Structure 1
Amino acid sequence: MAIKVETCAAKHQGDRVEQQDRVAIFGHPAQPGALMAVLADGMGGHTGGAMAAEQVLFKAKQNFEHFSHGSETPEHLITSIIQDSHTVIKLSRFTSEQDPHSTAVVFMLQKQRADWGHCGDSRFYHFRGDQLVYRSPDHSLVAELERKGRLTKAEAEVHPHRNVLLSCLGDEREPRVSLGGVSPLVGGDSFLMCSDGVWAYFDDDELGSVLATQNARAACQTLISRARERARGQGDNLSIAVIRLVDENTDAPRTEPPPDAGFPSLNE
């Protein structure tokens, strides 16, 4: 059964003075049907975070354009993107007065397989229908304490150090890279990438419901709109990418985006 791909990437500045998130989806120049989605949440003071996040997108596009299925594995490509971005961000300290850092989520879709990797606390989700299949582990202090049973989920959500990262790009230590993948793919598979400015306001069930019932553009706009409302004027930068696989002989959800909530038009 043929499967069509819906994609949408979007971002919103939130209530911050600068947009330091970056997100993009792009195709491979020589391999039809292959695409990559990249999301980065920059940190490091005025302009520093934005510069770091921009480097992640630049290296992802550069490395992906040179990817050859016969000579390199997806895992190697994704790892190299994160590690190369880390190196460039560290070197940028010598040419700027900032201390730039960034998270990274990298997703690659090919025929009958999808692969991903991440570093930091920007998240990657895989849903099949409305059921969660995979959620990336946060590389944060609070997430580590929760995994070790030293914090409950409720305690982790309100912990004063919940934004402290144990691994990110640009740090003195080499980045921790968590990898995943799935094959074969089926209609109903959805992949979501988002910064903490989005995922902090949702549980897995709500995310799965939105992705299962709305097309990619509507899902992005719904999640940004709800996150902005729930932030109550104290929201972080928001960035999101959605990739949905839909059986061609099945009508995609006809859900329209909610009324504009004051953010720019989404870029598909």
Structure 2
Amino acid sequence: MSETPDVPVDEQVPAPETPAPETPAAEAAEAPEAAEEARPLQLRFAALSDVGRVRRDNQDSGYAGPWLLSVCDGVGGAARGDIASSTAVQQLRRLDERPAGDPVALVAGALHRAHDRIGELVEHDPALNGTSTTATLALFDGHKIAIGHVGDTRAYLLRDGVLTRLTKDHTFVQSLIDEGRISEEEARVHPHRNLILQALDGVHEAEPDLFSEEVRAGDRLLLCSDGACGVLDDDRIADILGTATPDFAAVELVRASLEAGSSDNVTCVVADVVLADQGDPIDPTPLLVGAAAELPRRRTGLAAAGTSRFRGHRSGDTGELDPVPADDPPAGAGRAITSDPLDRDEELRYAPQAPRRFVWLKRLSAAAVVLGLLWMAAAGAWFWSQKQYYVGVHDGAVTIFRGIDSELLGVELGTAYEQSDLAVATLSDYVRGTVENGIEARSLEDARHVIQNLAAEQGGE
């Protein structure tokens, strides 16, 4: 009988292991997740815009549809920011269909077209020069959203009770937050919190943030203007978003913003990501709110000044007193002298008057008093103006001016006070335009601080 040679242990080849077949239970556990990911998703949406308790006009515009969500906040005051925001939304809403190409590229193109369209309006009507709008939109393709963002409107995602801000503000105070110089809480009350660094204005090319985000069933999206996110912190927004339906959440967000003291228009667009065959059927009718919905209508009287669904009580408003009825005496009745003060006033009204004497002297004295009061008011206004400062442009440099950034009868009410070494040409186009329009300051030190921040912002680019 032959002997088998010994083989060292370290040279022995182990027998191949045969993988254990997956059990039916494991296959059943993985199947629902894969099936759910493959099932189509859709949006259940709501939108609401309110003029607020302070502004006369609503310069926000919002849109919500099966494939597109968008919020634009117009800037410009007399330059009609409502036209800018509504024009942008009317251009962006053309995206509201299932994307046939790259969603991010489609969003970038829509923002560019909105920018060009605003430029055409400004060229046609110079009175609109200076108008602009922020823009935040989300284009849904059934599995993810493509985000386009310019300005300080925001997009949020609520998932499993955790709120995530998807966008980053293009504002002066956001740059201070990024540098660690101020906190989020301080930014809410900063005097220059409304200084936007990028917007769609038809003149200066903006550089929008463009990216995509995966979504899944159960997610809730919020797009809102700074009238909401400017006064509500993330915890409060998450608390409201986590309740009930999108309609209820939109109403509560607007109501809570106004109760928190928002002095701006408030616009909120809320959408749930749901399985296509889950729950009640979804109404696919798009919603258009704010200036984009109001401009086509001819409004007069009180409606023209804007109305608010959540007016509430204004501090200091005493309301109107009901008129006191005055009954005429019966025909033929004489005027009896009574102790009633109203009757005594009526008697004095009809009593004989003494002849007027020295009328011209009285009129001259009254004119002198009026002129004196006007001179005192003018002197007070001048002394007050010399304590006002703003940042503008002088000889190609960023300069502190003393006085008011305005003119009266062709006379400038502000004079160059302190010129900095910061050249206007080194600033970005949008920031340069903002400085040329003048940046208000609370004091001389505040004006110097503004220039320091502008220099830091320019140096960080």
TM-score by length of structure 1 reads 0.82
Residues in 2 aligned to 1:68 and 1:196: alpha-carbon distance in whole angstroms: 28
Partner of 1:188: 218
1:101-250 equivalences under 5 Å are 101-170=132-201, 172-183=203-214, 185-231=215-261, 235-246=263-274
Instruction: Measure how far apart 1:108 and its partner are.
Output: 1.1
**Alpha-carbon distance, 1:225 to partner:** 0.6
One-letter identity of the residue aligned with 1:132 = L
Structure 1 SS opposite 2:122: helix
- 1:257 corresponds to which residue? none
One-letter amino acid matched to 2:201: G
Q: Which amino acid aligns with 2:117?
A: V
Unaligned runs of 5+ in 1: 28-34, 252-261
Count of matched residue positions in the alignment of Structure 1 and Structure 2: 241
Match of 1:75 in 2: 104
- Residues of 2 paired with 1:109 and 1:92: CA distance? 29
Within the alignment, does 1:50 sit opposite 2:89 as a pair?
no
Q: Distance in 1 between matches of 2:143 and 2:226?
A: 29
Q: Does the 8 Å contact 1:187/1:246 carry over to 2?
A: yes
The answer for the alignment partner of 1:259 in structure 2 is none
1: CA distance, partners of 2:95 / 2:256 = 35
What is the percent sequence identity of the aligned residues?
A: 27
Task: Write the distance in 1 (CA, Å) between the matches of 2:243 and 2:96.
Answer: 31
How big is the shift at 1:250? 7.8
The answer as to whether partners of 1:131 and 1:205 remain within 8 angstroms in 2 is no
User: How far 1:155 sits from its partner (Å)?
Assistant: 2.5
After superposition, what is the alpha-carbon deviation per residue over 1:193-246, rounded to whole angstroms, capped at 9, x for unaligned?
Answer: 000011112121222222222210000000111111111xx6211111001124
After TM superposition, give the deviation of residue 177 of structure 1 in Å.
0.7
2:297 corresponds to = none
In the alignment, what sits opposite 2:116? 87
Q: CA deviation at 1:139?
A: 0.2
Task: Pick the aligned partner of 1:263 from 301, 309, 332.
Answer: 309
Q: Does 1:23 align with 2:55?
A: no
Contact 1:64 1:77 in 2 (8 A): no
Displacement of 1:39 after TM fit?
A: 1.1
CA distance in 2, matches of 1:138, 1:5: 25
The CA distance in 2 between the partners of 1:126 and 1:95, in whole Å, is: 39
Matches of 1:187 and 1:88 in 2, distance apart?
36
State the Cα distance separating 1:180 from its structure 2 match: 2.8
What is the CA–CA distance in structure 1 between the aligned matches of 2:244 and 2:224, rounded to whole Å?
Answer: 17
1:96-153 CA-to-partner distances (Å, cap 9, x unmatched) read 2022100001111121122211100011111212212343100000001111222222
* Residue in structure 2 matching 1:100, options 117, 122, 131: 131
Distance 1:188 1:44 in 2: 38
Partner of 1:213, secondary structure, is: coil
Distance 2:43 2:136 in 1: 19
The structure with more strand, counted as a fraction of residues: 1
Alpha-carbon distance in structure 1 between the residues aligned to 2:99 and 2:149? 21
Whether the aligned pair in 1 keeps the contact of 2:228 and 2:254 (CA below 8 Å) is: yes
Contact 2:148 2:211 (8 Å CA) reproduced: yes
Distance between the aligned counterparts of 1:188 and 1:16, measured in 2?
Answer: 36
> Do the aligned partners of 1:188 and 1:212 also contact (CA within 8 Å) in 2?
no
Is the 2:188–2:231 Cα contact (8 Å) retained in structure 1?
A: no
Quote how far apart the aligned CAs of 1:4 are: 5.5
Which ranges in structure 2 are unaligned for 5 or more consecutive residues?
A: 1-35, 281-307, 311-461
Which protein is bigger by CA-based radius of gyration?
Answer: 2
Q: Distance in 2 between matches of 1:208 and 1:21?
A: 22
**Partner residue of 1:61?**
93
Q: Give the Cα–Cα distance (whole angstroms) in 2 for the partners of residues 42 and 60 of structure 1.
A: 15
Tell me if structure 2 keeps the 8 A contact 1:129–1:208. Answer: no
Take 1:13 and 1:213, find their aligned partners in 2: how far apart are those partners? 24
Q: Is it true that 1:40 corresponds to 2:72 in the alignment?
A: yes
Bigger relative contact order, structure 1 or 2 (CA pairs below 8 A, ≥6 apart): 1
